[in-house]
A and B are shown apart, each in its own frame.
Chain A
Amino acid sequence: MSHRDVAVIGVGYTNFNSVTPEVNWKELMFEAAQKAYQDAGIDPRRDVDSFITCAEDFWEGFSIFDEFTPDQLGAALRPMHTVPGDGLQGLANAYMQIKTGLFDIVVVEAHSKISELLTYEDVVQLSFDPIYEAPLSNGVHPYYVAGLEMRAYLQATGTTEEECAAVVVQNKRNAFLNPLAEFECELDVESVMRSDYAFDPLKAVEIAPRADGAIVFVLAGGEIARELTDVPVYLEGIGWCSESPWIASRSSDASYAKRAAQMAYQQAGLENTQLIDIAEVDDQFAFKALQHLEALGLARPGEAGFLMVEGAFGPQGQLAVNPSGGSLGCGHLMEASGLARALEIVLQLRGEAGQRQVEDAMIGVAQSWRGLPHGTGAVAVFSRRE
């Protein structure tokens, strides 16, 4: 691999809101992009070599959403493309483009305008195999697949429902300290346990609510980053992986995240996961946070739940997990969820996380999962070098 290093030199973002009727998607993206360019101190019309946006047609309501992306990012008549994937997958493309040596500054955007989709559940079901999977569950909410996966995970690891409930409690509590977050709430494990099942063993309150928002990252080759900013945050490694798309073939240990983490750690030269100070993992469903922590090697199989209950992953714990509040606290931002996780890491490593700042944070990991019904995920390792 090329030895050129890659760093984040600017981030921009909107608030995360359950609805955003006051702007259209272009205006939402423009706000985040303008802030990112200000942060990086660059002019997109002159300085950016390539633009990437992360979007899926059916989330947006367009047969070719790529058409509707360049203007608001400053990308008209410039190289730009869409990744129908999560923001971290967008970041992976930027990373590779910079590593080729051809591109110096690359911009990655991801957003959610999911409040505009009136038939969310139908569209989720449209991602199921149309022959073997979709016809089985007409009328049933497609999130039942999360119930199946949670059952398999609990069965394989001995994790308890109480331990999953602890994830909800911690993330919604962490969100109080995050001004971007929309779904902060004071709960305790008992109240989560007494709440209604949606897809046994998954409870409704363990499902991250959806939110709108846009996030833009500006990345640059290391030598340029060091010229442009005093606080470059290095993208030391990024991995991504997909499991079999068949619902019934899914592993119980998030093997997509495991493989993605191996790839990212290897690139980063990270041999010991104990060096990681912060982890922002995907928590679209509470149990997923535990499964992902184990897949990332941040807890042994079956131990993440226990550690969560013990507070090991809290703000004062041995490893800060989802200090942002995660998707449970901030809202599930669809394809922008991975960038939201990465955003928190960047803010923390720059020392700009305000009241939730993790002290002396040097290395952070962000992880994403593209969501039901597939097993696609990505892992990014960031660091603030001395």
Chain B
Amino acid sequence: MNQAIKPKGRSLSAEQMKQVPHVIARPQAKYAWAAGVAMSHFLEGLKQGKILGRRCMACERVLVPPRMFCERCYRTTDGWVELPGTGVIETFSISYIDTNANRIKDPIFVGVLAFDGAPPHCGIMHYFGEVSPEEIHIGMPVEPVWKPESERVGAITDIKYFRPREGIPSKRISQRRKRG
């Protein structure tokens, strides 16, 4: 039987791409997104050094990041809860690339933490600091390192990073599931 695919297309090298006729343009696409009810309060909480969640009385979860509706129960959430801000590392990455895929020498520690006082696996993405590649692990207890109050603006970056909590035992083993 004949080859079904008769591929078409002219591949270009990076250099050829600059040689063939082309147009270069810079997009202008700027936004001012309304933060909305839930996130406005959350951001105000960050400014005050607090992590705020919303409680859903139907499924008894504390939603963090907060929202005004529970996506599982499809109902309005019921009230605000302040969390201690501590948590454990749910997962992490040691990144040698930045946002534009440029290579960087000193790696960024980034990951998801699950907050204490929230349901399992519920948390946010953030940086981790004061930790080495050898030490960092899933289940590691962490706490927020806040910017000084005068520098906080109501943004996720009001927290500089999360760092290991001293003297708290790791949940490393208990979190691991058995092989299926």
Contacts and interface: CB of A to CB of B under 8 A. Distances in A.
Q: Do chains A and B touch in the complex (CB under 8 A)?
A: yes
A256 interface: no
A22 B29 CA distance: 22
Output the residue of A21, A24, A113, A122 with the most chain B CB within 10 A.
Answer: A24
A26 interface: yes
B36 A23 contact: yes
Interface in B37-79: 37-39, 67-69, 71-74
A21 B35 CA distance: 8
9 contacts: A20-B34, A22-B36, A24-B37, A30-B68, A45-B72, A117-B30, A118-B31, A122-B28, A135-B25
B39 A122 contact: no
Contact of B32 (A44, A72, A116, A134): A116
Interface in A2-32: 20-27, 30
Given A72-B69, A74-B74, A24 B33 contact: yes
A27 B28 contact: no
Interface of B: 23, 25, 27-39, 67-69, 71-74
A70 B74 CA distance: 11
Contacts of B25: 130, 134-135
Contact of A76 (B28, B32, B72): B72
Given A24-B37, A119-B30, A123-B29, 16 more contacts: A22-B34, A23-B34, A24-B33, A24-B39, A30-B68, A30-B69, A37-B74, A45-B73, A71-B69, A71-B71, A117-B31, A118-B31, A122-B28, A126-B27, A131-B23, A135-B23
A20 to B, nearest CB: 7
A72 B36 CA distance: 13
A245 interface: no
Contacts of A113: 33-34
B74 A43 contact: yes
B23 A118 contact: no
Contacts of A130: 23, 25
A217 B38 CA distance: 26
